[in-house]
Amino acid sequence: MPITNLLSVHLPAENIQTAREAISQLETAIASLAVNLTPTDRRKYGSINEQNKLFVNKVADYAGTQPALRSAEVDWDEFTKDHQSRVELETLIAKLNNLVNRLDDAKTLYDYDNYQAALIDYAYTSYKAGSSAPGFEVKLNDLKQFFAKPRADKEPPVAEKVPA
């Protein structure tokens, strides 16, 4: 018999509601950043890789610790704001990714539990349909579609001849 109920803890309705409200508040809080880049824009502007981020961080360090070495052609106030925003967003993204991973893991276990229970119910339905219990034949026929077997009337693949 398969292991079931791998995750038997369930969030109460009030926790679900609180989470939904928190997500709505987050959406509202970051609404001013609602930018949708096209795939072309993402390729064009998304070229800063990890090495380039280190470069930007090093320039920011120099700008903060040795302002006499800064280029006059750079708007340093805007550079600093952009850099700080990037750091803050990176932190938020990491936390959100962690939450998403935890939610995905929990959902995976719930899905597994549901599937195992559905298989048990299917076996029971098959048993009851075999005993001509009313209603089970229809249910079995409806559920069989999810266990489609390859058709026997299809021609088997032709084996390639291996040169001797």
Asked if residue 54 belongs to a domain, the reply is yes
Q: What is the pLDDT of residues 13-59, one digit of tens each?
A: 999 999 999 999 999 999 999 889 999 999 888 878 899 999 999 99
Asked if residue 124 belongs to a domain, the reply is no
Asked if residue 121 belongs to a domain, the reply is no
Predicted structure pTM score: 0.73
Asked if residue 5 belongs to a domain, the reply is no
Residue range(s) defining the domain that contains residue 49: 37-74
User: What single letter denotes the amino acid at residue 38?
Assistant: T
Q: What are phi and psi of 58, to 5 degrees?
A: -70, -40
Query: Which among 118, 71, 25, 16 has a CA at the least distance from the CA of 126?
Result: 118
Is the pLDDT at 1 greater than 60? The verdict is no
C-beta contacts of 120-128 below 8 A and 24+ residues apart? 120/4
Q: Could you give the angle at the alpha carbon of 37 between the alpha carbons of 51 and 91, nearest 5°?
A: 50
Rounded CA separation 158/151 (Å): 17
DSSP string, 72-93: TTS-HHHHHHHHHHHHHHHHHH
Provide mean pLDDT across the span 137-144: 96
Rounded CA separation 119/153 (Å): 28
Asked if residue 48 belongs to a domain, the reply is yes
Is the pLDDT at 159 greater than 60? The verdict is no
Asked if residue 44 belongs to a domain, the reply is yes
Q: Could you give the angle at the alpha carbon of 143 between the alpha carbons of 139 and 145, nearest 5°?
A: 135
Give the pair of three-digit tokens for residue 5.
Answer: 């109920």
Please state the domain count of the chain. 1
The pLDDT value recorded for residue 81 is 97
